[in-house]
Amino acid sequence: MTDKTNSVEITLKNITKTFSDGTLALKPTDLTIKAEEILVLLGPSGCGKTTTLRLIAGLEFADSNGGSINFGDKNVTELPIEKRKVGMVFQSYALFPNMNVSENIVYGLKVRGIDTAVIDHKLAEMLKMFDLEKYAKRGVHQLSGGQRQRVALARAIITEPDVLLLDEPLSALDALLKARLRGDIRTLLKSLGITAVYVTHDQEEAMAMGDRIAVLDHGEIAQIGSAKEIYLQPKNAFVADFIGQMNRFEGNVIDAQLVLNTGKKIPLSSEALASSNANETLSMMLRPEDIRLTKVTDEQHALTGIVSSSVFLGDRTRVTLEKVQKEGKVIVDCFQRIEYPSGQIVALSFESKHLIPLQG
Ligand SMILES: Nc1ncnc2c1ncn2[C@@H]1O[C@H](COP(=O)(O)OP(=O)(O)OP(=O)(O)O)[C@@H](O)[C@H]1O
């Protein structure tokens, strides 16, 4: 069990899901989850994360339009969950309340009629791996949320599934425990080499957990890539806004600069210029942490704004500016402990390479 499992690649080809009431929960989707990869499905409520996970689990079946789901070479499209080797962990721990910790963990092996000696050996391994030895005989109602979730993980992993599917497993826990457990889960999955699909709507969790992240929007994958790719090169405004805070500047390209509707100008990088035409309206995005605030020395030409609020967040101060453009606000994260009183006029500076051209 402590050895690497026989992990598989999961392939979805042209998979679509329409529910009986006509809801199109998943538009035709191609998706490959590599063997041993942790893929995170991220997106707002109702975008189709759980549906995708349930299709992979075999708890839901895709529309019969010729699409297929494969685990390695095996076509599992029409196989129910008990015939796919999947382990599942949910947000609500779904433990059996009338069984103690050990009984919960071994349940999946018992129903398969596995030999008692083998079960005992594997149970001991699981209790150790999940630091649950002290609680082996405890009722699950006598456990904390974090302990219950460890039992749920042990119960899913003991059956040595090909694939582990996790649906918001940490969302019921407090922030500190969440951060610790997600690190533990990632380390565990990597040491087992198990292919995993992890659903969350929490972008920080997605970035910490996933080898790659698939951002879903209204039943389709808006972008798939590493945390860095999704954060630094978002394909569209939806992805940019969903992952972190994003500022948007709109204007016309004149003399290699973006001229905002306030007349203020932003110099453009040669890359941005290459992807735009003169006099064309262009949208550029910029992350709050890529902007620095400085004193105004040349008000006429500088890109300036007026501080409307400033919130101390410990590691940074989040400053909101108005009047940079005619409409909308600009958010700036400042890492120096400088006070920015409301009403103060400040200049914005940044490197043009940090501007992200908005496509679509
Ligand atoms: N059994 C069902 N019958 C009809 N529509 C459904 C059913 N299950 C889900 N849906 C719809 O399918 C869409 C996708 O739902 P899904 O549960 O996959 O979203 P989600 O991204 O997991 O959302 P959440 O983060 O809120 O769990 C939603 O519009 C939802 O209302």
172 C-alpha vs ligand 1 centroid, how far in Å?
19
Q: Which atom of ligand 1 is nearest to the CA of 219?
A: 14
Residue 343 scores a pLDDT above 90: yes
Architecture of the domain delimited by 245-357: Beta Barrel (2.40)
Residue 360 scores a pLDDT above 80: no
What's the confidence (pLDDT) of residue 22? Answer: 95
What's the confidence (pLDDT) of residue 61? Answer: 96
Q: Which residue has the tokens 């951060």?
A: 179
What's the confidence (pLDDT) of residue 172? Answer: 78
SS3 108: helix
- Sheet containing 304-312: order of strands: 292-294, 345-349, 304-312, 317-322, 330-334
Q: 190 and 140 in contact (C-beta within 8 Å)?
A: no
* Pocket around ligand 1 at a 6 A CB cut-off: 19, 21, 23, 25, 43, 45-51, 201
∠ CA 152-155-159 to the nearest 5 degrees? 150
The pLDDT tens digits of the residues spanning 119-160 come to: 999 999 999 988 899 999 999 989 988 888 889 999 999 988
DSSP H or E segment with residue 12: strand 10-18
Task: State the chain's mean pLDDT as an integer.
Answer: 90
19, 61, 218: residue to mutate for ligand 1 pocket, most atoms within 8 A of CB: 19
Rounded percentage of the chain residues whose pLDDT exceeds 70 = 96
| Structure token digits, residue 7 | 């992990």
Listed by start position, the domains of the chain span 10-241, 245-357
Number of Cβ atoms within 10 Å of the Cβ of 5: 19
33 C-alpha vs ligand 1 centroid, how far in Å?
22
What's the confidence (pLDDT) of residue 2? Answer: 46
Q: What's the rounded Cα separation, in Å, for the pair 3 and 193?
A: 9
216 C-alpha vs ligand 1 centroid, how far in Å?
12
Strands 38-42 and 212-217: parallel
Phi and psi of 254, rounded to 5°?
Answer: -135, 130
Residue 278 scores a pLDDT above 80: no
Residue 336 scores a pLDDT above 90: no
SS3 287: coil
* pLDDT greater at residue 320 or residue 244: 320
- Give the 3-state secondary structure percentages of the chain, helix then strand then coil, rounded to 5: 30, 30, 40
Intrachain domains 10-241 and 245-357 with the same fold: no
* Per-residue CA distances from 209 to 2, 196, 235, 315 (Å): 21, 10, 21, 22
Q: Which residues contact 356 (CB under 8 A, 6 or more apart)?
A: 232, 233, 234, 240, 284, 285, 286
Strands 68-71 and 10-18: antiparallel
119 C-alpha vs ligand 1 centroid, how far in Å?
37
Please state which of the ranges 18-22, 191-195, 259-263 shows the lowest mean pLDDT: 259-263
The pLDDT tens digits of the residues spanning 61-101 come to: 999 988 999 999 999 999 999 899 999 998 776 788 899 99
* pLDDT greater at residue 14 or residue 185: 14
Which of the 8 DSSP states describes residue 139? B
49, 61, 63: residue to mutate for ligand 1 pocket, most atoms within 8 A of CB: 49
* pLDDT greater at residue 26 or residue 268: 26
Q: What is the pTM for the complete model shown? A: 0.88
Strands 220-225 and 38-42: unpaired
What's the confidence (pLDDT) of residue 144? Answer: 87
* Per-residue CA distances from 210 to 103, 225, 286 (Å): 31, 10, 24
Task: Report, as an integer, the average pLDDT of 246-257.
Answer: 88
The pLDDT tens digits of the residues spanning 174-208 come to: 888 888 888 888 998 998 899 999 999 999 999 99
Number of Cβ atoms within 10 Å of the Cβ of 138: 15
**Nearest CA residue ID for atom 28, ligand 1:** 46
CATH of domain 10-241: 3.40.50.300
